[in-house]
Structure formats: C-alpha cells, structure tokens
Amino acid sequence: MPSRASIPPAPRRALLSVSDKTGLEDFARRLQALGFELVSTGGTARALRQAGLEVRDVAEVTGFPEMLEGRVKTLHPSIHGGLLGRWLEASHRQPMEQHGISPIDVLVVNLYPFEAVAARAATTAGVEAGELIENIDIGGPAMLRSGAKNFESVAVLTDPADYATVAGELEGSGSVSAATRWRLAQKVFVRTAAYDTAIATTLAELGAEVPAGRVRVEAEAFPARLHLDAVRERVLRYGENPHQRAAVYADPAMSNGRSLARAQPLQGKELSFNNLVDLEAAAQLAGEFDPAATAAVAIIKHTNPAGCGLGGSVREAYARALACDPLSAFGSVIGINRELDGDAAEAMAGLFVECIVAPSFSPAALERLHKKKNLRLVAYDAYDATQATPSPRLTTISGGWLLQDADSSLYAAGDEGWRVVTQRRPTAAEEDGLRFGWAVVKHVKSNAVLFARPGQILAVGAGQMSRVDAVRVAVLKAQLPLQASVLASDAFFPFPDGIEAAAAEGATAIVQPGGSVQDSACITACDRLGLAMVFTGTRHFKH
C-alpha cells in the first residue's frame, strides 16, 4: 500500500456528533490545534461554536439540510463515503475525488440516550411513547459501524474516556496507532450491540399493543426472546477444577457497589471461581437479615451453610455461627450483613478462612486482618430493603438456559402462609427459632433440614437423597445439644419417619411446606409426640 505522502493530500477531518458532551470541548480544541477540520451536527455544532471553535455543518458537506425534524442528517454518501473510503487505495480514492468526498480520520459519536429514557419509562410516571421512539438513534449507530469497519483508516470514539488517549497519540506521532484504532473499533461493536439489545428488550416489554400516549415499561420476567449483555471483567485462574477454564462477566447496567462480579478484594489473592460462588452464597444468606435489627454471620462451605448466627454484635453472631460446625468452618467463606469491626476481626483471625464478604471493613479490622496475606476481603452488600423483586436467576443447560424468579426472602414476611396444623401451638421461643430456621434452610442444598434455636443454627443436613437421611446427617454432624431445638425442612416430609427421628433428638417444633399425601400422618405423629408444627405452603428446593 502506498504511503500517504505519495498520494494527493486530503484534509484532516473529524466528525463530531454526540449526546453526552463530557470532555468534548477540550478534545475538539486539541483536534483543531492539530489542523483538523471540525464537522458537526445540530446541538453539538452549537456547543462547539459557543466554545469559540470553528465548525462546519454536516449540511454544508452533504449539500442537503437536516430534515424530517433531525431524523435525517448524516445518512448520506458524503458522510459514509468519507468513513468507509480507503483514501490510500486508488480504487477508492478516484471515485471519492470524482464525487467530492473527503476522508474522515476521526469520528466522535455517542448515541441518543435511549437507555436513560427507557429507565424513566420503568418508573411509575412513565414517558411519552413518542419520546421513547425518538430516542432510537439511527444515524449514530450507522456512522459508528461504518467507521469501525474501516478502522484501518478511521479512529472511532464512542466513549469520552478515550479522548485523552487519541489526542495524545495524535499530538505525539501525528496519527492514531493501529492498536488503538483496533481497540476502539472493538469497543464500538460492543456499544452498538448493547444499544440494540436495550431497544429490543424495552420494545418487547411494551407488549403487543402499539404504544401511544404515556407508556410505562412493565419488565417481563420471561420475554419471548432473551437478550444478554455482559462485560468480561477478568479471566480467572481456572474454574471449579484446575483443568477447567473460567471467566467472570458483569451486568453493565448494575452499579459497581451492587455487583459482586465487579468486586475486587481489598486484600489477598485473586478471587477464584469457587470463591465467587461461595461469596455469593455467603452474602445472600447474611443479606436475609436487616442489619439495622441484628448482626448476621453466615459460614459457607461449598455453597452450603456450615453455620449461621444472629447477635447484637458481629462478634456475637460469629461465635454462634462458628459453634454449629467448627470443623467444616476451616477453609470456609464468611458473609456478614454489617461492617466488620476490629473486635469481630480479632475473633475471626484465629480461623483459617478463604474469604470474608461484608458491606464494609473498619480500619481496625483491616489492620488486624492485614497480617493474613492470603485472606481475601470483599466489600459487597446483598441486603436491599427496597428490592421487592430480586433479579431472575439464570442457569445453563445443554443447548439453552433456564430462567426463574429468585427465591425471595421470607424471613420478615409476616404470617402470610404461616399455619399451625398441630394441636399444640409453638411457644414464642419456638416461633423465633422456626422463623430463623425457615430463612436459612432455603440456602441449603436439597434435600435439606436443619436444627435451630432462636438466632443460631445447631446442625445442618444438606444434599441428601431422602429427607430422613438429611435428618440423620444433621444429627451425625451436630456439635451442639439438640434438646429443645426446632427443625426446618425445605420441602414436605413424605412420611413421619423424619419427624420421629428429629423428635428423638430433642426437636420440639417443626416448620415445613406441607403438601404431602401423608400430611395427616405427619400431623398425627406430631400430636402423638407433643410437637408443634407449622406449614408454610412454600417449598425451598435448592438444586
């Protein structure tokens, strides 16, 4: 390919057309100082002129005015020819010269704020249908795609964060490096894909009726077509096992403070695949409980609770959680619903732990745990009192995906569905233990049971093929007395044998969903044994 010096010179031209004008004035000023002709549209041109810059209107370049209330302005061969043409190649240069098309070296475009308008459409007030539709950008994505396709010749910027890099390269060497142009082109197609995904998802959520007047987006939990947009945050060292590759992806719509995928350790080694899975389990269990009402600590091993405790302080809650199964707590992940303070950190420092996740860490806690070099500390808060409907959960299967509602918190759900079915009603202490156990058992792999008392899990039976075996496993692992305990079961007892086994160990009250053909036999067994039993009508399978 001939060098630029061996062909007729072309003016250095930058086309700027943006909705978000952050950093635009400084970048345009640096381009103009380098000899670039600035070409712009509408509001962008006005903003640049107000800043004292010389700007040429797109309408002057195309020979056609902006028309149809601004819907048509850049969709023209003079623009797209300048973006797609390879000036260094005679086969492109000759027709460009013949038709008076100049190459565009730098393109600066960010798109109409459709996502922001769609977010307002999801509020109670909604938006006018016309405003939503008018914020579907046509010319912007077309220019971005044209320029990015021709990245060998055009530097395309859609993110103000890239202005300084491009200006610096131009000022340093007179051109934008091939590596930067390639990176920017990749970024363009990520942006346009996400933009189209937002449009497709939002319009689908408007439903089958033609939108008119004021509209409100009702988020469809199970859309006819599932659009996913995720950004790779980092490649992990490996997956569940060393021979498996893995990476973590983040939802770009979720703020960093609410995203475990984007959380970075405050100290310690890089997070692994298994760390992240266990951190999610720990944070979600601790996040069941309102931090303003009680401190909660969850100890997780291979996604199952090895202990969970409540207390007036984090240290008290930790002591209760640890007492459940101190052996399994070795090498665990700990989740906390409050800031980790120095006193609790001192208590935890004596145990080998992989990770601790909490909303925040006090300076005293950080100082105490800094000595444990490999301990990962992650700031993330799963508790959200305002989120009535948590995000749906996505699971992969061969050739597809399963999407379901989250199993939302029921700890503070009041008495809805809570029905005493035995002759004896639970005592106040039993009631507290039952509600606490019911909140925790949904975080245990099925078949699942656990023994509890108010604010403390005593023993856990997880992942068994029969419910009576789950009771026996919990009894086998118990480190604390089970006398006067309560039992929580994630699904119904198909036979009275599990209930009888729990009663033999000292359980005095049981909470379970009910719904078995043997419910009457189970109720009769409880009455015979003097147990109180509550049916919830809600199952908590966790596969």
pTM: 0.78
- At a CB cut-off of 8 Å and minimum separation 6, what does 459 contact? 324, 325, 450, 451, 474, 475, 477, 478, 479, 480, 482
Where residue 487 falls among pLDDT bands split at 50, 70, 90? very high
pLDDT at 540 over 60: yes
Predicted pLDDT of residue 389: 57
pLDDT at 168 over 70: yes
**What is d(CA 87, CA 89) in angstroms, rounded to the nearest whole number?**
5
For residues 33-48, average pLDDT? 88
Highest mean pLDDT among 79-83, 312-316, 392-396: 312-316
Which of 27-36, 202-211, 474-483 has the weakest average pLDDT?
202-211
In the 8-state DSSP scheme, what is residue 339?
P
Where residue 452 falls among pLDDT bands split at 50, 70, 90? very high
With a pLDDT cut of 70, the percent of the chain lying above it is 94
Predicted pLDDT of residue 9: 57
Predicted pLDDT of residue 99: 81
Quickly list DSSP for 356-403: EEES-B-HHHHHHHTT-TT-EEEE-----TT-SSPPPEEEEETTEEEE
> Widest CA span of the chain, in angstroms?
100
- Determine the CATH number of domain 9-215: 3.40.50.1380
Which of 41-50, 97-106, 201-210, 477-486 has the weakest average pLDDT?
201-210
With a pLDDT cut of 90, the percent of the chain lying above it is 53
In the chain, ranges of CATH 3.40.140.20 domains: 271-379, 419-535
- At a CB cut-off of 8 Å and minimum separation 6, what does 28 contact? 14, 16, 38, 48, 51, 53
pLDDT at 95 over 90: no
Predicted pLDDT of residue 476: 94
For residues 471-500, average pLDDT? 94
Predicted pLDDT of residue 430: 97
Helices (H), 400-518: 428-441, 467-477, 497-504
**What is d(CA 308, CA 448) in angstroms, rounded to the nearest whole number?**
15
Predicted pLDDT of residue 1: 45
Which of 149, 227, 269, 370 is an active site residue? 149
Where residue 131 falls among pLDDT bands split at 50, 70, 90? confident
> Bigger pLDDT: 4 or 175?
175
Predicted pLDDT of residue 410: 52
In the chain, ranges of CATH 3.40.50.1380 domains: 9-215
Alpha-carbon distance values, 315 to 159, 280, 294 (Å): 46, 21, 12
Predicted pLDDT of residue 2: 47
Which of 21, 269, 302, 372 is an active site residue? 302
243 a catalytic residue: no
Predicted pLDDT of residue 197: 86
Predicted pLDDT of residue 220: 65
Summarised one tens digit per residue, pLDDT across range 341-384 is: 999 999 999 999 999 999 999 999 999 999 898 999 999 988 87
**What is d(CA 137, CA 130) in angstroms, rounded to the nearest whole number?**
13
Where residue 256 falls among pLDDT bands split at 50, 70, 90? low
> Bigger pLDDT: 322 or 61?
322
302 a catalytic residue: yes
CATH of the structural domain 419-535, one choice from 3.40.140.20, 3.40.1280.10, 3.90.1530.10, 3.40.50.300: 3.40.140.20
Predicted pLDDT of residue 240: 93
> Bigger pLDDT: 486 or 198?
486
Where residue 420 falls among pLDDT bands split at 50, 70, 90? very high
CATH class of the structural domain 271-379: alpha beta
Mean per-residue pLDDT of the chain: 88
For residues 110-129, average pLDDT? 83
pLDDT at 156 over 60: yes
For residues 127-156, average pLDDT? 88
Predicted pLDDT of residue 413: 46
Where residue 119 falls among pLDDT bands split at 50, 70, 90? confident
> Bigger pLDDT: 388 or 333?
333
For residues 67-94, average pLDDT? 76
